[in-house]
Amino acid sequence: MKILFCGDLVGRSGRDVVLENLPALRTEMALDFVVVNAENAAHGFGLTREICEELFEAGADAITTGNHVWDQREIIPFIDGDPRVLRPINYVRGTPGRGASVIKARDGRSVLVVNVMCRLFMELLDDPFAAVDEVLNSHVLGKSVDAVLIDVHGEATSEKVALGHVCDGRASLVVGTHTHIPTADAQVLPGGTAYQSDAGMCGDYDSVIGMRKETAIAKFRTKVVTERLAPARGPGSLCAVYVETDDASGLAARVAPVVLGGRLQPAWPIFLPPRGPAAA
């Protein structure tokens, strides 16, 4: 399978760069499955039903979230009814929605998508390691599902790396979100799981992790909040991770970062054809 995971989508800049590029990317990369983390899509805080529907229309197959999932209260009934929109699996029992879902790719193959949140410097949710173990024990890669994608939403790279090794050999891709900065450690782990500590964000990098830099800097310097943080509105970069899996085992054959548009240096998998002029 050919899979694309797009990192945290922040505000209008993030929405625009994903909506403008994703339809072409599905064709250029011959993508079988696309996941987008959209927890910062609605003005930087949370997501809405309308945004979810726009992303699905553009080519997303699943949407993951994180600690901002409940910032827009209108998402609660929608997330409870649509299995393609996930919240972290290690919220306490009784929380609306689901943290793992088996979703059909367009060719009919089954993909398990898992959303889990770390605990270091984050909310003290249930044990993420136990939660991931439980779902992976119930859905075996290469047997009951064709691919397994795990979004590890967390602050500490050490916790993300540890979860990656725990999942090695049992998942197609383990990828971090939340810090909004793409890391340079894309690799296939010894057991065959693709891993990157953070996919980065889809948004304006002339900012402080997607937010207007003037407001964020003032908050750091004075601790006096004079205005609400708001997303930067400049041209966005699309940051993602591309994975190809072995059809028999579901494990990763290769992985590479993807960066398009905005201020960051472009990145494109060297083993794919160059981008066509229509999508430049």
d(CA 265, CA 119): 32
d(CA 7, CA 38): 8
Query: Which element (helix H / strand E) includes 151?
Result: strand 147-153
Positive or negative, the Cα torsion across 65, 69, 75, 76?
positive
Say if residues 128 and 119 touch (Cβ distance below 8 Å): yes
Q: Which of 185, 189, 179 is nearest to 152 (CA)?
A: 179
> Which spans in 7-140 are helix H?
11-28, 49-58, 75-81, 128-138
d(CA 205, CA 253): 31
In one letter, which amino acid is 215? T
- CB-neighbour burial class of residue 248 (10 A; exposed 0-12, middle 13-18, buried 19+): exposed
Q: Which of 99, 94, 90, 27 is nearest to 63 (CA)?
A: 99
Half-sphere exposure of 13 (CA within 13 A, CB side): 28
165 included as an active-site residue: no
Phi and psi (nearest 5°) for 164? -60, -45
| Set 43, 68, 139, 153: catalytic member | 68
Catalytic residue list: 68
